[in-house]
Amino acid sequence: MQIVMIIDKRTLAAISTRNNKVLCKFLILEYLESWPGGMTKEAIFNFLESHTETDVKAGKGRVVYDYLNELIEVKLINTDTSTPVKYILTEHLRELEFIPVKKRNVPLLKSWEHSLRNYSHIPIFGELQQYIGDNKEKIAEWEEEHRGEEAFPTVSFDAPADYHEDDFLFDCYYAIYECTEISFRYTPFIGDPRGDKPVDVIDFRPYLLKEHKNRWYLVGKYKGGEEIETFSVGRISSIIDSEGSRFERDPFDPDHIWKHSMGIYTRWDKGERHENGNLIFYDTPIDISFRVKDGLRYQNIDYLKTSKIHASQELTLPGADGYATVKLHMFPDSDLVREIRKQGEKNVKDITPDFLSRWVMEDEE
């Protein structure tokens, strides 16, 4: 964040929404770090133009030139004397690797530590604690000046305090960070299409650790595969190799991948099978609807107004019978089945399609 402020203080407030200027500057620095001998303006422009997240296109060479000059002004890059001119990183950037905390920000830092305490099983928390340790003198000064004051959490997460799946989270986290293949022994859940016996997952390419309902999942692809695969970290019994071959990541957009899902599913099935016995999977969403009324004690309809089941949800006003209609366009996965059941068996009716109604009500065909 300090580097963002140095690069462009004016756009700091906009970085959370997507600021092309800041993004381009970060990418330039990242690109030049890979080329210690420097790169020309044309090479940098071509790199930015090929990056899918920027809007640098032909005819915007002047814009990139301005970005480079602004980076020179804040002493993050410089030019050499070659022809054509090459841009190189400066030592000033390396001086920013450790950024001391300001005394007035100590309460905020300690608040983060309290808020994230239940995530102590993931490396990010360890990195925060290391940063706190590096600033222990400044923190001790603040604590001495504010005796009796205690830092307190400002947010609370649902992560369980007694989480026990941390052994392999570290291996998965660093395999993702280093873009290295990982191999492990995995025991599927009962009913998993992969079977219910332990299997060796070899040369898996991890892309993301995803938390869902207090479980961590490793998401990625098999070497040479195209389908997104998901493994519960809690079902990994051993790591066979956490330092496999490096791989180049394909484009990966979590928001797109789970656009039609409530959680971790990237496809769904109706229990149908091919002639070879394999499940038939679908990767397109379907139209779903059901009618719901308030319960004797709980206000289901008001709750659904403010907390949608899915981004696609449409909710009608209740009719004379007290029932409102919920319409969805998504995967009919197990998370949805459980969510509908949460409204109360006597408060839900007219579920479509029929197979989803049977799953929710557990009716036999």
Mapped to the 3 state alphabet, what secondary structure does 2-60 carry?
HHHHHHCHHHHHHCCCCCHHHHHHHHHHHHHHCCCCCEEHHHHHHHHHHCCCCCCCCCC
Residue 98 pLDDT: 57
Between CA 332 and CA 182 the distance in angstroms is 31
Q: Identify the pLDDT of residue 231.
A: 94
Q: Read off φ and ψ for residue 348, nearest 5 degrees.
A: -125, 140
- Cα separation, 69 vs 234, whole angstroms: 49
pLDDT in tens, the chain (365 residues): 344 444 444 443 444 344 577 778 888 888 888 887 888 888 888 888 887 666 666 555 678 888 898 888 888 899 988 778 899 988 766 555 556 677 777 787 788 777 777 777 777 777 777 778 878 888 888 888 888 777 777 777 776 666 655 578 888 988 998 899 999 999 988 777 777 789 999 999 999 999 898 889 999 999 988 899 999 998 999 999 888 889 988 888 999 999 999 989 999 998 888 988 888 999 999 999 999 999 888 899 999 999 999 999 999 999 999 999 999 999 999 999 999 999 998 999 999 999 999 999 986 55
Q: What are the extents of the domains in the chain?
A: 2-97, 101-163, 166-257, 282-361
Q: What is the pLDDT of residue 220?
A: 96
Dihedral of the CA atoms 287, 290, 294, 299 (nearest 10)?
-20
C-alpha–C-alpha distance, residues 110 and 132, integer Å: 8
What's the fold here for domain 166-257? SH3 type barrels. (2.30.30)
- Do 242 and 170 meet the contact criterion of CB atoms below 8 Å apart? no
The predicted structure's pLDDT at residue 99: 62
Q: Is 1.10.10.10 the CATH number for 2-97? A: yes
CATH 3.30.70 fits 282-361, yes or no: yes
CA separation for the pair 205, 221 (Å, rounded): 5
Common-topology check for domains 2-97 and 166-257: no
- Number of residues that make up the chain: 365
Structure token pair of residue 177: 């960070």
pLDDT of the residue at 339: 95
